[in-house]
Copies of this chain bind each other. A is one copy, B any other.
């Protein structure tokens, strides 16, 4: 269901049957976990249900993770890695602040839309982690926010982003909007729904028009 970002890398499937099978089942466990957890929420998701979908007995799942929480952590961790990488990639383009910010929004939003279910978990289930894992995930969230925040500040400083509104409010507005993209009307029901590109374009346009300096 969820399109694994794995597929963006070179497909490593040609190795041999044994490996592929293992890989596949491992992926399958994650994929099904993502599917169920994003639908029902982490707490309401039972290991049983994931096992049913994978086609394995409950006990067998523990060959693939050591605890339900660790499974959640891995899902969130992967989201962090992917979005971090995107952030770095955009950074490497060396654009001026506003353009940098908009490109960041664009690419990150694309990832969120391509990985709607995973992103949903990333945004809503961190509170179910505990201890070290919780602290780490919180830290990741802060990093994500900091990235945006720095760009907003830079834009305000060079006069391309409005500075009548506090940087923190603008940052939250941007993140919140990206966060919500997963619930914008998307293709699956087809008909008059929208593709990910259209949604991203609309979002970037709206955000740009609202934060650009001199827009009012």
**Chain A interface main SS type:** helix
CA distance A94 to B192 in the complex (A): 31
Give the segment of A67-75, A85-93, A150-158, A171-179 that binds chain B: A171-179
A10-39 vs B, CB cutoff 8 Å, 1 = contact: the mask equals: 000000000000000000000000000001
Q: Are A41 and B40 in contact (CB under 8 A)?
A: no
Question: Is A81 located at the chain interface by the 8 A CB criterion?
Answer: no
Q: Are A124 and B127 in contact (CB under 8 A)?
A: no
Which residues does A use to contact B, with CB under 8 Å?
A: 2, 39-41, 43-44, 55-57, 124, 127-128, 165-166, 168-170, 172-173, 176-177, 179-181, 183-185, 192, 194, 198-199, 202-203, 205-207, 209-211, 215-216
Given A173-B180, A207-B210, 15 more pairs with CB closer than 8 A: A2-B55, A40-B43, A43-B43, A43-B44, A165-B202, A166-B194, A168-B185, A173-B184, A176-B177, A176-B179, A176-B181, A177-B177, A179-B180, A209-B215, A210-B210
Q: Are B173 and A176 in contact (CB under 8 A)?
A: no
**Contacting residue for A180 out of B41, B44, B172, B206, CB 8 A:** B172
Q: Are A206 and B165 in contact (CB under 8 A)?
A: yes
Q: Are A2 and B177 in contact (CB under 8 A)?
A: no
Distance in Å: Cβ of A66 to nearest Cβ of chain B:
12
Complex A-B, nearest 3 residue pairs according to Cβ-Cβ distance, in ascending order: A176-B180, A43-B43, A210-B210
Q: Are B206 and A173 in contact (CB under 8 A)?
A: yes
